A and B are shown apart, each in its own frame.
Chain A
Amino acid sequence: MSLSLLQEVLPHAVGLEPEGLLPARQQMALSLGWHIILASFGVAFPAIIWAAHWRGVYRGDDVALNLARRWAKVSAVLFAIGAVSGTVLSFEMGLLWPGLMGPYGDVLGLPFAFEGLSFFVEAIFLGMYLYGWGRVPPKRHLLMLVPMAIAGVVGSYCVISVNARMNMPVGFRVEDGQVVDVDPWAVLFNPGAILQFAHMWVAAYMVVGFTVAGVYAAGMLRGRRDRHHRLGFTIPFVFASAAAVVQPFLGHVLGLRIAEAQPAKLAAFELATETESPSPLRLGGLLIDGEVRYSLDIPGLGSIIARNSFTKPVQGLETIAPADRPPVNITHVAFQSMVGIGTLLFVAVLVYWFVRWRGRDLLDHRWTLRAAVAAGPLAVVAMEAGWIATEVGRQPWVVYGYLRTPDAAGDNPQIWILLVATAVLYTGLTVGAVVVLRSMARRWRAGEEDLPSPYGPESAAAGGASRPHDRGPEAS
């Protein structure tokens, strides 16, 4: 491996960066990357459950009602670990980035406070919804999903707006090293934030929709082709398809802003070493010792896609001071993986619905089902890649143009221990969640609808449910 690649992957190892920075970054990437998957469920799952529950209540569709009830139980597990992993992030903002939270806490913080409000609302209605089965009149029970869904959207909007402000700083000035003229509201209504949010929101629907649909596709592959599986596939798949169709357009519009907001990031996305007019679109490729290798160049297309123009160039890396360049290869590969997967899923859902509209059911084909199973993980990869592209592409800045990442990090080399501990903990949590969710599915298939409390038959004795069909998901 050449030195430049090594520097990019392990800057610390070649002595370029202060101690405590690399572990802090890894820690942030690990915990955000983990949280964002569960957060996606918080954003998108309530609406999908609502659709099934609505059918159950208003159309008298028992299969749909049953799906909603099971999904609610699944969400009880996912939301719990989503909430605790979000709490980890709140601590980490201070623990890992004292140089960010000290000077900029009051600049960035207000949206987080609104986020806190929405999580409150979400958690309250979540409690009511999960425990309301059989205890609250059905129509009112269904309504409880509405504030949950709204709160999920508002909450993630607020977080994204913080991130958008780090990408496109607004609402403050720096004078003699002091942050002044703070306008904490500016960011909440920033157009960049709205676009970024829209992209993330839609990504959440892709992740959750394809993942849930994939579970039922896997069931059909094993020969379970009852209505339960078909409906369980179709409801989330409709949401995911709609999302997959709009996502490339949103991503494109979002990308158009980058040319002005963060030229260095765009250059890395496009692997533009030099400014060329018009710029080519580079597919694949790596930057090795300052040369682009292994890429497929399509002349002119880069300008069209990134700049919406036949001539406007993508500003090249040569115009950016070496100290201000992001790690190019990581950014480029991540970005192209996201776009590649996004394009693939876009085409795939269009084909699926077109063929279906022509009257053929692709679900009879095993390859369609296999593709449907793969779509969930692919969407997750796209989302993670998107975040890596945005976040790594912003480097070396935390607050673009104002605060460099090394200045935001603490001087705590012990953070390595924290990183290892977090990795172990998250592995444990992932294993626990998978074991529990799989066992739930297994018991449901075996006909145990209510998943009784694990404390043996005596449990029904305490605060316990009497009539099984009345039980809530907690099966107390």
Chain B
Amino acid sequence: MTLELAVAVALFAGVVAYALFGGADFGSGFYDLTAGSAHRGSELRTLVDHSIGPVWEANHVWLIYILVMWWTGFPESFASAMSTLILPMLLALLGIVLRGSSFAFRKFAPTIGQARLYGAIFAGSSLITPFFLGTVAGAIASGRVPAQGRGDLWSSWLNPTSLLGGVIAVGSSAFLAGVFLTAEAHHADRGALTASLRRRTLAVGAVTGAVVFAALIPILHDAPTLADGLTGRAAPLIIASGLAGATALALVAARRYGPARISAVAAVASVISGWGVGQYPWLLVDEVRIADGGGADATLAGLLVVVGLAGVLVLPPLVYLFRLTQSDEWVQH
């Protein structure tokens, strides 16, 4: 494996991790937004608070990891992607800022009125961010970011692949979050809450699954290079994703929430990896290959050191944090 490829793989692993962990965080905004009045929704909103509170900042750092690996490892493509996709990037950023801060504010808001304001901002912006990040992915995957300079400010992300990418990002985030929240409500013995979350998760999952497969048709026309990859090299992953998604739905329907979480994660992880494998060997599809886009070799090697250190220094505490939040003392309190 070349240095460039190794760094690209490490970078993409970050994308998958962000889609899963960040996605599950963002997705919970969907349920928060649709939970109803302050009175009716309070049980669910408190569950959301409780469930993402300890982990959201850590989950957010995956995005920082992606950006830093990208601009350090593949600087030219970062510069052109940023200037081409400035609008969706800024909108995603707006969502990130509003969401993080209003989530923190809501927790300590003195009145219901303020809590509702912050809560609405939190929940709304939770949907904005994955949507626009999805359009960014679509722009890159459909070959609309030039190797150098700036592509079209608008059509680069207002096109079928980008828009579908956005919808898929929102849907799969909401599906993941739904499975996790249902499992958590179940674990905490909240019967009514579990039932309502289960119903909504099933609906979200069915719709998202349908969209993902329906999207393949416009993508075939709009992004031929990616389509070749998706129907060729990446086909097993796409099929695996479909199977895992269907399994997750069936498990939720059967009230087997623990295993449902695993298959939901597998479904989202394989659809995202499918995109990565599908667009290989391109960094910016049709424009720059991974092999040609790398920065200085010494820097790429340095990045691999960082990745190695991350495995030693970051993963163990991260696992510990997640185990802690799933332990009985934390869930029951």
Contacts and interface: CB of A to CB of B under 8 A. Distances in A.
B302 A84 contact: no
B75 A454 contact: no
A326 B32 CA distance: 51
A131 B330 contact: yes
B326 to A, nearest CB: 12
Interface stretch (A215-223, A290-298, A397-405, A427-435): A427-435
Interface residues of A: mostly helix, strand, loop or mixed?
helix
B215 interface: no
Contacts of B190: 461-463
Interface in A91-119: 91, 93-95, 98-99, 101-110, 112-117, 119
B251 interface: no
B101 A432 contact: yes
Interface residues of B: mostly helix, strand, loop or mixed?
helix
Nearest to B64: A116
B302 A113 contact: yes
Interface string B15-38: 000000000000000000000001
A170 to B, nearest CB: 13
A455 B302 contact: no
Contacts of A465: 333
B89 to A, nearest CB: 6
A160 B86 CA distance: 26
A184 interface: yes
A456 B295 contact: no
Contact of A475 (B72, B107, B300, B318): B107
A76 B90 CA distance: 25
Interface string B101-122: 1111111111110110010000
A106 B77 CA distance: 12
A7 interface: no
Interface stretch (B53-61, B199-207, B242-250, B261-269): B53-61
B310 A462 contact: no
A459 B46 contact: yes
Contacts of B61: 116, 119-120, 123
Contact of A458 (B42, B57, B325): B42
Contacts of A472: 333
Nearest to B82: A94
Interface of B: 38-39, 41-47, 49-51, 53-55, 57-58, 60-61, 63-65, 67-69, 71-73, 75-76, 78-83, 86, 89-90, 93-94, 96-112, 114-115, 118, 184-185, 188, 190, 193, 295-296, 298-300, 302-303, 306, 309-310, 313-314, 317-318, 320-321, 324-325, 329-331, 333
B78 A464 contact: no
Interface in A440-466: 440, 442-443, 451, 453-456, 458-459, 461-466
A412 interface: yes
Given A101-B78, A119-B64, A135-B329, A410 B109 contact: no
A453 to B, nearest CB: 5
Of residues A80, A93, A443, which shows the largest number of chain B Cβ atoms within 10 Å of its Cβ?
Answer: A80
11 contacts: A87-B96, A94-B67, A109-B73, A120-B65, A120-B310, A126-B57, A184-B296, A432-B102, A436-B108, A458-B39, A459-B45
A474 B107 contact: yes
Interface residues of A, number: 89
Contact of A101 (B50, B82, B106, B313): B82
A147 B317 CA distance: 10
A163 to B, nearest CB: 16
A121 interface: yes
Given A76-B104, A119-B61, A124-B58, A131 B53 contact: yes
Nearest to B104: A80
Given A87-B63, A475-B107, 12 more contacts: A73-B108, A80-B101, A95-B83, A110-B302, A112-B71, A113-B68, A117-B306, A120-B313, A121-B313, A454-B115, A458-B43, A474-B49
A130 B101 CA distance: 16
A208 B108 CA distance: 21
Nearest to B106: A454
Given A106-B296, A185-B302, A121 B314 contact: yes
A84 B100 contact: yes
B79 A102 contact: yes
B38 A470 contact: no
A32 to B, nearest CB: 15
Of residues A81, A147, A425, A463, which shows the largest number of chain B Cβ atoms within 10 Å of its Cβ?
Answer: A463
A127 interface: yes
